[in-house]
């Protein structure tokens, strides 16, 4: 049995002692071809320290070999020796055949390190050198997609789509569908989703297609796809929200509500489903059910402001003032700067005859509610009741700006002008 076969056998059996002995022998060899094969074999099995040792030896004897620099840089990156790896990669010259390979390795490193712009620059440079190489165009398109440059990515994917179905196991059709959707070009994405559905209706494909149809104004098709998805995978939680929204958009509120409840039964930690169920219950005239769902949402996330606002609105409509004030007191730190909640608080204080508190809450709400006719009218009436006529007149003027032909407030302001004369 040759040394390479013995080396592979020791790795497969986990015989570290024999492996170390063989590496020691190989490291003293001058058979560079065997050393290189052994280093690649070690790296492929994940023995990076041993592989790096052999690559290092090879580089001592062949310091100008660009491929060795790239190979050793790969093992060094795996070992966390990033600075040394980057020095090796940047040492590959632009006039060397392996330069593009070095650029790809650098781009991959920068992407993994969260340096998207640096990664994009390296791929862009590689693309300028070999613009017709499919793997380079694909890598460039992938980084453009990650960077949110959807139009540029689409152009590259479209070119690739004319030439091949996939690269590296990735479907180009799926990338086109994903990229068009990511750029909100949902109608353009639909043909590619349909092409994917003809090949394989996977849960992710069904959901992506359903979302694109929903966003394109075709909730009926979205509904069919999502029902198929849930039948295929009842625990695909995201499907319940979108299916409920699809039913709701066609005014099938009862069906939407049932879907949201089915989703909640599957996913007990989804606060958004509980909010959606609460809103559906309100539309169906089921305020008690709505309250229960909204409270459940806030149990999962006490700072969930959408649920706070919806529940506060419900309490305000039902004049559950004690519950409303308790809710706003409990969430005061997060809700205190939301004008609508300050308005609800003002209404509750006024109904409970806590007029000083009501005035304070009205005043807090005012700056953010100057376009809300109902609020301005309530505030004006409150100020008149409290004898604050100057402030009431000022806000009444805001009212008639919003609704110039309002007889009541026009007459009020005319009367005030006559009194002043």
What CA–CA distance (Å, rounded) separates 182 from 180? Answer: 6
pLDDT score of 163 more than 60: yes
Per-residue pLDDT tens for 30-85?
888 888 999 999 999 999 999 999 999 999 999 999 999 999 999 999 999 999 99
What CA–CA distance (Å, rounded) separates 344 from 241? Answer: 29
**Higher pLDDT, residue 344 or 201:** 344
Report residue 161 as tokens.
Answer: 């789509």
Percent of the chain scoring above 70 in pLDDT: 98
Write down the pLDDT at residue 301.
95
Per-residue pLDDT tens for 340-393?
999 999 999 999 999 999 999 999 999 899 999 999 999 999 999 999 999 999
Model confidence pTM above 0.85: no
Q: Average pLDDT for residues 193-210, to the nearest whole number?
A: 94
Token look-up 């009218």 returns 377
Write down the pLDDT at residue 420.
59
Give me the domains of the chain, ranges plus CATH numbers.
1-81 (1.25.40.10), 92-197 (1.25.40.10), 370-421 (no CATH)
Q: Average pLDDT for residues 156-179, to the nearest whole number?
A: 94
Of 164, 117, 122, 158, nearest to 139 by C-alpha is 122
pLDDT score of 319 more than 50: yes
Percent of the chain scoring above 90 in pLDDT: 80
Write down the pLDDT at residue 421.
45
Write down the pLDDT at residue 3.
82
Cβ(248)–Cβ(220) below 8 Å: no
Q: Residue 336: which pLDDT band, with cuts at 50, 70 and 90?
A: low
Report residue 159 as tokens.
Answer: 């070119």
Q: What is the 3-state secondary structure (H, E, C) of the chain?
A: CCHHHHHHHHHHHCCHHHHHHHHHHHHCCCCHHHHHHHHHHHHHCCCHHHHHHHHHHHHHHCCCCHHHHHHHHHHHHHCCCHHHHHHHHHCCCCCCCCHHHHHHHHHHHHHHCCCHHHHHHHHHHHHHHCCCCHHHHHHHHHHHHHCCCHHHHHHHHHHHHCCCCEECCEEHHHHHHHHHHHCCCHHHHHHHHHHHHHHCCCHHHHHHHHHHHHHCCCHHHHHHHHHHHHHHCCCCCHHHHHHHHHHHHCCCHHHHHHHHHHHHHHCCCCHHHHHHHHHHHHHCCCHHHHHHHHHHHHHHCCCCHHHHHHHHHHHHHCCCHHHHHHHHHHCHHHHCCCHHHHHHHHHHHHHCCCHHHHHHHHHHHHCCCCCCHHHHHHHHHHHHHCCCHHHHHHHHHHHHHHCCCCHHHHHHHHHHHHHHC
Write down the pLDDT at residue 409.
87
Mean pLDDT of the chain: 93
Write down the pLDDT at residue 137.
94
Q: Average pLDDT for residues 116-123, to the nearest whole number?
A: 92
């Amino acid at each position: 049995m040759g040394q390479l076969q013995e080396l592979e056998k020791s790795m497969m059996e986990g015989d570290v002692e024999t492996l170390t002995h063989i590496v020691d022998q190989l490291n003293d060899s001058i058979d560079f071809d065997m050393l290189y094969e052994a280093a690649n074999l070690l790296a492929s099995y994940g023995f990076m320290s041993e592989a790096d040792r052999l690559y290092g030896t090879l580089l001592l004897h062949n310091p100008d070999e660009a491929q060795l620099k790239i190979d050793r840089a790969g093992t060094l990156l795996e070992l966390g020796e990033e600075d040394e790896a980057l020095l090796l990669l940047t040492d590959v010259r632009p006039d060397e055949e392996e330069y593009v390979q070095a650029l790809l390795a650098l781009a991959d490193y920068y992407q993994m390190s969260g340096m998207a712009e640096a990664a994009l620059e390296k791929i862009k440079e590689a693309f300028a050198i070999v613009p017709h190489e499919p793997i380079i165009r694909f890598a460039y398109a992938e980084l453009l997609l990650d960077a949110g440059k959807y139009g540029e990515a689409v152009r590259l994917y479209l070119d690739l789509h004319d030439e091949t179905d996939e690269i590296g196991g990735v479907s180009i059709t799926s990338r086109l569908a994903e990229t068009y959707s990511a750029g909100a070009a949902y109608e353009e994405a639909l043909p590619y989703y349909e092409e994917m559905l003809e090949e394989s209706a996977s849960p992710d494909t069904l959901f992506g297609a359903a979302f694109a149809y929903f966003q394109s104004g075709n909730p009926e098709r979205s509904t069919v796809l999502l029902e198929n998805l849930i039948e295929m995978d009842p625990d695909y939680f995201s499907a319940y929200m979108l299916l409920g929204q699809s039913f709701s958009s066609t005014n099938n509120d009862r069906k939407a509500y049932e879907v949201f409840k089915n989703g909640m039964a599957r996913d007990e930690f989804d606060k958004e489903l509980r909010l959606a169920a609460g809103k559906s219950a309100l539309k169906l005239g089921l305020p008690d059910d709505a309250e229960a769902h909204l409270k459940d949402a806030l149990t999962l996330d006490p700072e969930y402001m959408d649920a706070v606002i919806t529940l506060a609105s419900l309490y305000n409509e039902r004049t559950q003032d004690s519950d409303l004030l308790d809710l706003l007191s409990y969430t005061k730190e997060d809700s205190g700067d939301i004008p609508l909640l300050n308005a609800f608080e003002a209404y509750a204080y006024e109904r409970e005859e806590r007029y000083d508190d009501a005035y304070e809450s009205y005043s807090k709400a005012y700056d953010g509610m100057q376009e809300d006719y109902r609020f301005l009218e309530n505030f004006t009436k409150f100020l008149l009741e409290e004898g604050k006529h100057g402030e009431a007149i000022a806000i009444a003027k805001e009212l008639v700006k919003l609704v110039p032909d309002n007889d009541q407030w026009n007459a009020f302001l005319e009367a005030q002008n006559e009194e002043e004369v």
